[in-house]
């Protein structure tokens, strides 16, 4: 469990990757959207101590996704091409393999990342 009080996310550079995201707030939907490849997050812990952490790869996307919620933003708000929206079943059947292949270089750059499958 990680508690972030008043988090601020800052991109580290202009590089982005195409993240195929879903969310428990919108069950059975996925969509393709840009996320920054590397971010820095500053925040306070529950005791009021300041922290700054850097995240890269899929973890950077996850932090951006979760912190968007604090601003009332859900992933479809960031989807640039609505034709990429699909169900989980459609994603697994028709889009997952190509997406995983497209992010393999990203996963190689950030080896501590969880597997995309």
Helix (H) or strand (E) holding 23: strand 16-23
Buried/exposed code over 79-99 (b: 16+ C-beta within 10 A; e: otherwise)? beeeebbbeeeebeeeebeeb
CA distance 52 to 44: 9
Q: What is the mean pLDDT of residues 44-51?
A: 98
What phi and psi, each to the nearest 5 degrees, are found at residue 112? -85, 5
User: The pTM is what?
Assistant: 0.91
pLDDT of residue 76: 98
Structure confidence at residue 112 as a pLDDT band (50, 70, 90): confident
* Catalytic sites, residue numbers: 66
What pLDDT, in 10s, does the model give residues 69-84?
999 999 999 999 999 9
Percent of the chain with pLDDT over 70: 96
Task: Give the closest residue to 22 by CA, choosing from 12, 11, 33.
Answer: 33
pLDDT at residue 47 greater than cutoff 70: yes
Region class of 9: left (phi > 0), else alpha (psi between -120 and 50), else beta: beta
| pLDDT of 117 above 70 | no
Please tell me the predicted confidence (pLDDT) of residue 1.
85
CA distance 74 to 54: 22
């Amino acid at each position: 469990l990680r508690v972030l009080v008043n988090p601020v996310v800052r991109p580290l550079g202009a590089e982005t990757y195409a993240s195929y995201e879903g969310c428990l707030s919108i069950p059975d939907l996925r969509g393709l959207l840009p996320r920054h490849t590397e971010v820095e997050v500053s925040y306070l812990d529950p005791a009021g101590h300041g922290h700054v952490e850097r995240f890269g790869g899929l973890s950077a996307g996850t932090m951006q996704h979760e912190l968007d919620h604090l601003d009332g933003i859900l992933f479809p708000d960031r989807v640039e091409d609505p034709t990429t929206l699909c169900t989980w079943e459609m994603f697994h059947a028709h889009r997952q393999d190509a997406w995983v292949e497209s992010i393999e270089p990203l996963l190689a750059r950030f080896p501590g990342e969880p597997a995309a499958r």
